[in-house]
Amino acid sequence: MKQTAIIASAILALGLLALGLCIRSGIDFAASRDRTVDVRGLAEREVPANVVTWPIMFKEVGNSLPAVYANVSATNQRIVDFLKANGLTDQEISIGAPKVQDLTTDRYNNQPLPYNYAITSVVTVSSRKVKEVHALINRQGELFAQGIAISNDYNYQITYDFTELNSIKPEMIAEATQNAREAAKKFADDSDSSLGKIKTARQGQFSIEDRDATTPYIKKVRVVTSLTYYLED
């Protein structure tokens, strides 16, 4: 009986020891899993815009509405002829409905009117021939020479766009992730740790902006990824 009790006690003691070791190991494992590092990875690229929109806006004024409208139609045609003579097609050119203003109906104006009507017209170029259209924009003085007074208006701004983001997304995400990993690896090395697996990952929003104010036809694409890595001993 005494020998049996001793054996049972020994087995119980070994069991408690093993349980303690398992608990300790679990605590150490849980503690190690709480050691993490948060990093961000940046990827940037400069890309040429692939779509340009050029609104060509002008006004005609006069006292006879039919005469003013005839002048608008003639000016529209001259603009279209200029654009087509320089390589643009009908599919890239559109003419908006004219905006007519009857100045005689302005009840707040008590001054004599130099003319009764003003018509605003917009010929819009929308094209993927960015370089060619940009060159034409720099040559719009040729329209001035024809007596076409192109107006500048906040509502009709030249815009350059990049619409092929999906073609570079995978490479940029991979680059941002690699940059984040390199930052995490440096942190792990400096803290005498090893870099573990990714705990969480979040892809930031892609942004597309002008590279600068003078070159709106060159875009800067940017994305930031946020990752959390486990650190191991």
pTM: 0.77
Task: Calculate the average pLDDT of the chain.
Answer: 87
Report d(CA 200, CA 197) in Å as an integer: 9
Burial group, residue 187, by CB count within 10 angstroms (0-12, 13-18, 19+): middle
- Give the residue carrying structure tokens 């990952």: 201
**Mean per-residue pLDDT for 145-160?**
91
Better-scored residue on pLDDT, 39 or 27: 39
Contact 187, 227 (CB under 8 A): no
Residue 114 pLDDT level (bands cut at 50, 70, 90)? confident
Q: Cβ contacts of residue 189 below 8 Å, gap of 6+?
A: none
Least confident of 36-45, 61-70, 98-107, 218-227: 98-107
What tens digit of pLDDT does each residue of 79-98 get? 999 999 999 999 999 999 99
* Terminal-residue alpha carbon distance, the chain: 48
How does residue 27 score in pLDDT terms, banded at 50, 70 and 90? Answer: very low
Would the pLDDT of 112 be above 90?
no
Q: Is 49 exposed, middle or buried (0-12, 13-18, 19+ CB in 10 A)?
A: buried
pLDDT tens per residue, range 166-225? 999 999 999 999 999 999 999 999 888 899 999 999 988 999 999 999 999 999 999 999
Residue 103: its pLDDT value, please? 84
pLDDT at 34 over 80: no
Would you state the pLDDT for residue 12? 53
User: CB-based contacts of 98: which residues, under 8 Å, 6+ apart?
Assistant: 69, 72, 119, 120, 121
Give me the pLDDT at residue 157, please. 93
Quote the CA–CA distance of 209 and 159 in Å, as a whole number: 12
Residue 161 C-alpha from the chain's centroid: 9
Q: Distance (Å, rounded) from C-alpha 26 to C-alpha 149?
A: 80
Mean pLDDT along residues 110-119: 83
